[in-house]
Amino acid sequence: MNGASQVSSPAAPAVLVSAADGVATITLNRPEKRNALSLAVMRELIAAFEAIGGDRSVKAVILRGVGPAFSSGHDLREMLDRSVEEYRLTFDVCVSLMEKIQSIPQPVIAEIAGIATAAGCQLVATCDLAVASEDARFATPGVKIGLFCTTPMVALTRAIGRKRAMEMLLTGEPIDARTAADWGLINRVVPPQELATATAALAASLASSAGFVVGLGKAAFYAQIDLDQTKAYAYAKEVMSMNALAEDAHEGIGAFVGKRRPVWRT
């Protein structure tokens, strides 16, 4: 996945993947469909994240969308007149996508321009980090069309808490980027013309650290987040003890003590 060229997947050209300087970029390229998450697109995203997760040359990932929407959520054309088995398949694949994003070792940054609604908002809440343009908007409007945003609710509640999530879910009303940052849905808000640069700078910062250590930390974060404090500390101290044995830990500590730049092994 080395090189800066950007190519379209032959099976689903709506998803583009590129990589350069240790950072992979996954682009939703269905602007005419507001980057809706069809079943095919979700499967292509899963495949892209799976491939990136196994590529040790990639240290960070940016997920972005082309056009006026980061993602408008599920493709509603696929939500009409289907069997319960077909609906279950759609949501199974959606859950698999969200779990894949959090299970790969590299941190994933959502770069949001325009709207992120329903499962698109779920994507933002699922990503490890998020940078948004000042004109971005976020909503879970399913209640307005008779299909409550129940799966987006899982990620949203874990990102912003019960009361704020309930407000978004029950009203379906959008929140602006500043509110999203205040509520913890996103990390940073920047002017539209600075969005790509700010996201790239954050990705480069992440990519400058040891890949093994970042991956270990990401996995540990999600493993401990829902444990009670005693169990979380028991788990965390074991992970940190094993981390201390790693080559990169010795290199990083030695470099700090020796006042030099570390040379990572991973």
Phi, psi of 116 (to 5 degrees): -135, 105
Which residues lie closer than 8 Å to 216 by C-beta, 6 or more apart?
A: 105, 239, 243, 246
Answer yes or no: do 51 and 87 share one domain.
Answer: yes
The burial of 204, by beta-carbon neighbours within 10 Å (0-12 exposed, 13-18 middle, 19 or more buried), is given as middle
CB 128, CB 107: distance < 8 Å: yes
**pLDDT at residue 5 in the model:** 41
pLDDT at 264: 87
Q: 195 and 63 share a domain?
A: yes
264 part of a folded domain: no
Is residue 103 exposed (0-12), middle (13-18) or buried (19+ Cβ within 10 Å)?
middle
Say if residue 117 is in the same domain as residue 231. no
- pLDDT for 249: 85
Residues 185 and 236 in one domain: no
- Do residues 26 and 16 touch, judged by C-beta distance below 8 A? yes
Note whether 78 and 192 are same-domain residues. yes
How deeply is 81 buried, as exposed, middle or buried, from its count of CB atoms within 10 A (0-12, 13-18, 19+)?
A: exposed
5 exposed, middle or buried (CB, 10 Å; 0-12, 13-18, 19+)? exposed
pLDDT of residue 266: 85
Q: Which two tokens stand for residue 166?
A: 């309930």
CATH number at residue 219: 1.10.12
Query: Pick from 122, 183, 187, 181: which is nearest to 156 by CA?
Result: 122
For 178-208, the pLDDT digits (tens) are 999 999 999 999 999 999 999 999 999 999 9
186 and 73 in a common domain = yes
- Does residue 49 sit in the same domain as residue 136? yes
14 CB-near residues (< 8 Å, 6+ apart): 28, 29, 30, 33, 35, 38, 40, 41, 44
138 and 238 fall within a common domain: no
Kindly give the parts of the chain with pLDDT less than 50.
Answer: 2-12
pLDDT in tens, 135-154: 999 999 999 999 999 999 99
Give the domain range for residue 94: 6-207
Under a CB-based contact definition with an 8 Å cutoff, are residues 158 and 125 in contact? yes
| DSSP SS3 for 189 | strand
Q: Quick check: is 42 in a domain?
A: yes
Residue type, 240: M
pLDDT (tens digit per residue) in 47-56: 999 999 999 9
Q: Which pLDDT belongs to residue 251?
A: 86
Q: Number of folded domains in the chain?
A: 2
CA atoms within 13 A on the CB side of 247: 7
User: Which own/partner contact pairs does 237-243 have at CB distance under 8 Å and 24+ positions apart?
Assistant: 243/213, 243/216
Are 143 and 64 contained in the same domain?
yes
Listed residues 207, 223, 238: the one ending a domain? 207
Q: What is the pLDDT of residue 248?
A: 87
**HSE-up (13 A, CA, CB side) for residue 28:** 32
Asked if the structure places residue 1 within a domain, the reply is: no
